[in-house]
Amino acid sequence: MATIYDIAKKTGFSTTTVSKALNNYSDVSEKTKQKILQAVEEMGYLPNAHAQSLSTKKSWTIGVMFSESNEVGMKHPFFSAIIESFRKNAEREGYDLIFASRNLRNRDISYLEHFSYRAVDGIVVICSDPQDPQVQEMINSTIPIVVIDMNKQNCSLVFSDNIEGGKLAVNYLHSLGHTKIAHIAGDALTDAGAERIKGFKKAMNELNLPIHDGYLINGGLFSIGEGKAAMEKLLMLDDVPTAVFVAGDHMAIGAIEAIKEKGLSVPEDISIIGYDDIEMAAYITPKLTTIKQDTDMIGYQAAKLLMKQIIQKKKLITSKRIPVELIIRESCSQKK
């Protein structure tokens, strides 16, 4: 690879001048700048990112930490949609994403250490466990950070309006005539799970609807299997609900499965409304009515918030609550 030195030699200028020409310094004449640019072209010169970062202390990279309990990594449709949006926006500003592991050449180091090692300019974390010590460590560090899907951390936050989402779901169900509404909740240890429960309770309360015994059930960490198991419990109740608000689409899919296996059908016997609006939601049978999270907007705002911190060179404590939307499909129907 040609270096800055090579093109200095070729043009007869010093490396200083070459560097300046490349970085648009004002104290280099237009004429020499053109000569240099031409040599750059001819020799196919490209700067070396590492040398550049070493001397400027800026790497133009953003570390992404992806953590969810089910070990699916980037296969997770909701998280990966957010990251994709984040990537597009960060890209536009000139940043590359780097996915780091905890394993630095077989020494088990923390994510923060790994990101420090790589000298990333910022970190984005998508994580559902608000207590994760790794995440806490990063939040407490000096590296700009934005965390997605949590709502009360001492840093910049981007999350969906989960309370509103819960209310939307319940109100919709109620508008269809349902009163015996259950909630298969996401684990209350996750902020998203807890907030959706809050929204559920609030809406039920405002509607003067009682929450029957056993109608608020923990569906765990949002997986299909857990959703199915939770629904099975609901089905064993003496007084089975006529509608259930499920805190995640995967869980909702599991719930529907449980209902079908029991010989009942959705929405005729039981209405189901999910949360997320993953791609699959529109294609299962019945097509899933759900609360859509705006992954594009989440990614966009996260990128924006992170850029802002990087530019201002200081961590900002802000939160951005992103609106959600009711997507009506076929899994809910009028109470008979």
Residues of this chain that interact with DNA (CB under 7 A) are 1, 3-5, 12-17, 19-20, 22-23, 27-32, 45-48, 51-52, 54-56
SS3 245: strand
Binding residues among 30-49 for its own copies as defined by CB under 8 A: 46-49
- Shortest Cβ distance from residue 94 to DNA (Å)? 13
Binder of residue 83, out of DNA, its own copies, none (CB less than 5 to 8 A by kind): its own copies
CA dist., res. 336 & res. 330, Å (int) = 15
Does the footprint of its own copies cover residue 70 (CB under 8 A)?
no
Among 112, 147, 141, smallest CA distance to 127 is for 147
Q: Quick check: 133 binds its own copies (CB under 8 A)?
A: no
Return the residues of window 100-119 that contact its own copies according to CB under 8 A. Answer: 100-101, 103-106, 113-114, 116-119
Pairing of strands 122-127, 61-67: parallel
Binding of residue 328 to its own copies (CB under 8 A): no
CA-wise closest residue to 77 among 277, 320, 285, 297:
277
Instruction: Tell me the CA distances in angstroms from 71 to 64, 76, 224, one per residue in order.
Output: 16, 9, 14
**CB closer to its own copies, 143 vs 204:** 143
Residue among 21, 81, 146, 307 that touches its own copies (CB under 8 A): 81
What is the rounded CA–CA span in Å between residue 18 and residue 32?
9
Q: Is 167 exposed, middle or buried (0-12, 13-18, 19+ CB in 10 A)?
A: buried
Contacts with its own copies by CB under 8 A lie at: 1, 46-51, 53-54, 59-61, 72-75, 77, 80-81, 83-84, 87-88, 91-92, 94, 96-101, 103-106, 113-114, 116-119, 224, 253, 257, 279-280, 283-285
